[in-house]
A = this chain, B = another copy of it.
Amino acid sequence: MNLKQLSLTLGLSQTTVSRALNGYPEVSEETRRRVIDAAKRHGYRPNPSARRLATGKAGMIGYVMPTGAAVDIDPHFVEFLSGLGDYARGHELDLVLSPADAADEETTYRRVVANKQVDALYISAPRSVDKRIALVHQLGIPFIVHGRSEGLDFDYPFIDIDNEGAFHDATRLLLQLGHRRVGLINGDETQTFAIFRERGVSRALSASGLTLDPRDIRSVVMTEENGYRAARSLLEAADAPTAIVCSSLHMSLGVVRAVRDLNLSIPGDVSLISHDDVFPWLKPENFPVPLSTTRSSIRAAGARVAERLAARISGLEDGARGEVWPVDLVVRGSIAGARP
């Protein structure tokens, strides 16, 4: 059943039927009712391809997904996706994942935009002076960044969590507990979230007259194995930190293992605070020693990104508003006062 047939059965023109269905004012309420009713009865649904061709609107949001043999998609992504899906489902919004060569995402961005495959894009895991943001900004397609970039000479819409605040507060708490040396096991240092977190730790230390020694920082891809290695190398140093803040739960698994391998204990020898993105499959409260965390649901962020993307598409939102969400600091058994 297409528009032509429907309008034929109604004895109306395609124009009128189309307008009635799309809520245009120049059609009488009675006619509109008839049309909507008939459409429902016949199960009419406009063909999206045709609509796209006519309007240029795709009814989909896009994500350019870096891939490659050496590229791993972060498991955080599924949780983000859950949130995005939660919102999108209620709005018949689909998500298009366009796989891109991680070394050349620009081509894919250009293709996606030129083809008008999607009405809006979201960008994740931004770096400093992120080229994708500049590109997408210039291409003029609606977008939202999940995270923040720095050093761009224009504003852009984003949602991010207060990474600096979170790690500042975590570090401050450790200092209040008497720790003087805090190690940071961070994610990939080119990512802004990692930069902000480091800044937070650094600021807290400075406030206590201390400094964050580069030797106490590890920036690595966030896997269990890397967490282990980082923790070992930190803790085996001559004057090792007595406390560690760690950027992910997966890495914290490795930290816990390293502490154990070194015959140390948490929190007796080492206090540990981890960031927790809230995964269903791995919870900080179920660690051998329940983990203190800075907590923020990445799933909620996904839903919010979808919501704002939808708003931008329909013109309800514009401008470059940035949202920064506060982060919970949840205290559990993995921290204790520093040994005198």
A residues neighboring B (CB under 8 Å): 45, 47-50, 52-53, 56, 58, 60, 65, 67-69, 71-75, 77-79, 81-82, 84-86, 88-89, 92-101, 111, 114-117, 222-225, 228, 250, 253-254, 257, 260, 279-283, 286, 288
Query: In the complex, which of the residues A49, A75, A78, A224 has the most CB atoms of chain B within 10 Å of its own CB atom?
Result: A49
- Please provide the 6 A-B residue pairs with the shortest distance between their CB atoms, ordered closest to farther: A85-B99, A67-B85, A89-B99, A72-B280, A73-B78, A49-B52
In Å, the complex CA distance between A73 and B98 comes to: 20
- How many copies the complex holds: the figure is 2
Pull 30 A–B residue pairs with CB atoms less than 8 Å apart, ordered by A: A47-B53, A47-B115, A47-B116, A48-B115, A49-B52, A49-B53, A49-B58, A49-B115, A52-B52, A52-B53, A53-B53, A65-B85, A67-B89, A73-B81, A73-B82, A75-B75, A75-B279, A77-B78, A81-B97, A89-B99, A89-B100, A89-B101, A94-B96, A94-B98, A96-B96, A223-B280, A224-B286, A225-B286, A228-B286, A253-B253
User: B224, A281: Cβ atoms under 8 Å?
Assistant: yes
In Å, the complex CA distance between A108 and B5 comes to: 24
Contact status of A94 and B117, CB under 8 A, knowing A49-B53, A225-B283, A286-B228: yes
User: A78, B74: Cβ atoms under 8 Å?
Assistant: yes
Residues on the B chain within 8 Å of A281, using CB? 72, 74-75, 222-224, 250
The 8 Å CB contact of A97, one of B86, B97, B224, B257, is B97
Q: Would you call the interface of chain A mostly helix, strand, loop, or mixed?
A: mixed
User: B71, A82: Cβ atoms under 8 Å?
Assistant: yes
Contact status of A260 and B288, CB under 8 A, knowing A49-B49, A50-B53, A96-B95: yes
CB nearest neighbor in B for A228:
B286
Residues on the B chain within 8 Å of A93, using CB? 99
In Å, the complex CA distance between A124 and B110 comes to: 31
CB nearest neighbor in B for A58:
B49
12 additional A-B pairs beyond A74-B281, A75-B75, A253-B282, beta carbons within 8 Å, are: A49-B52, A49-B116, A69-B86, A75-B281, A92-B111, A94-B117, A95-B99, A96-B96, A97-B97, A224-B281, A257-B288, A260-B288
Query: How near does chain B come to A164, taking the closest CB pair, in angstroms?
Result: 25
User: A94, B94: Cβ atoms under 8 Å?
Assistant: no
Query: In the complex, which of the residues A88, A97, A99 has the most CB atoms of chain B within 10 Å of its own CB atom?
Result: A99
In Å, the complex CA distance between A286 and B228 comes to: 9
Residues on the B chain within 8 Å of A96, using CB? 60, 94-97
In Å, the complex CA distance between A332 and B281 comes to: 24
CB nearest neighbor in B for A89:
B99
